[in-house]
């Protein structure tokens, strides 16, 4: 996967704060002049400066596994404000893999979330495959 994403990882980006656990449960929003804006962020202990697309990984997995239309709306809204850079799908698959490794490690270390005998590959493969298998949901429609 790293080799497949190698070229995609060379696409330039503007460094931003990457939360790493950016999701609905870790933000507060308020409506200002008819538009929703994030007004608070929680649980930022693992934040770093890097590629902001990384923060799409966790929510994309949640939405993609719940309903492909939610995934399409989520990524579409992101791309409405920031057009995708070349290699978006390949890069996001790698970011999802990294995010799944973090969750897996925590779950294994604390004996939570995963049934005994479940392999990382079995659990993570559907999420990692979301970008390629989304039928274009990861890229904006014309």
140 in a structural domain? no
60 in a structural domain? yes
Would the pLDDT of 141 be above 60? no
49 in a structural domain? yes
Domain encompassing residue 126: 2-133
pLDDT of residue 138: 61
Q: Are 27 and 42 in contact (CB under 8 A)?
A: yes
97 in a structural domain? yes
What's the rounded Cα separation, in Å, for the pair 62 and 86? 24
Q: What secondary structure, in 3-state letters, does 15-74 show?
A: CEEECCCCCHHHEEEEEECCEEEEEEECCCCCCEEECHHHHHHHHHHHHHHHCHHHHHHH
Q: Provide the terminal-to-terminal Cα distance of the chain, rounded to the nearest Å.
A: 28
- The pair of three-digit structure tokens given for residue 74, joined into one six-digit string: 């989520």
Q: What digits encode the pLDDT tens for the residues 75-118?
A: 888 889 888 899 999 999 999 999 999 999 999 999 999 999 99
Q: What digits encode the pLDDT tens for the residues 6-55?
A: 999 999 999 999 999 888 889 999 999 999 899 999 998 899 999 999 99
Burial class (CB in 10 A: 0-12, 13-18, 19+), 102: middle
What's the rounded Cα separation, in Å, for the pair 68 and 36? 23
What's the total number of domains in the chain?
Answer: 1
Cβ atoms < 10 Å from Cβ of 132: 13
139 in a structural domain? no
When pLDDT is cut at 50, 70 and 90, the band that residue 134 belongs to is low
Q: Phi/psi at 39 (nearest 5 deg)?
A: -115, -5
37 in a structural domain? yes
Provide the CB-side half-sphere exposure for 47 (13 A, CA): 13
126 in a structural domain? yes
142 in a structural domain? no
> Any idea what the CATH number is for the domain that residue 45 is in?
3.90.1200.10
């Amino acid at each position: 996967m790293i080799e497949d994403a190698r070229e995609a990882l060379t696409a330039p980006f503007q460094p931003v704060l990457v939360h790493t656990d950016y999701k609905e449960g870790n933000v507060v929003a308020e409506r200002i002049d008819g538009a929703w804006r994030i007004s608070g962020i929680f649980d930022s202990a693992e934040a770093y400066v890097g590629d902001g697309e990384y923060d799409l990984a966790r929510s994309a997995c949640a939405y993609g596994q719940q309903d492909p239309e939610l995934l399409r709306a989520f990524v579409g809204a992101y791309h409405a404000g920031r057009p995708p850079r070349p290699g978006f799908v390949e890069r996001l698959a790698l970011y999802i893999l990294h995010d799944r490794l973090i969750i897996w490690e925590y779950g294994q270390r604390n004996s939570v979330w995963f049934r005994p005998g479940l392999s990382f590959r079995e659990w993570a493969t559907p999420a990692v495959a979301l970008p390629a298998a989304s039928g274009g949901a990861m890229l904006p429609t014309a």
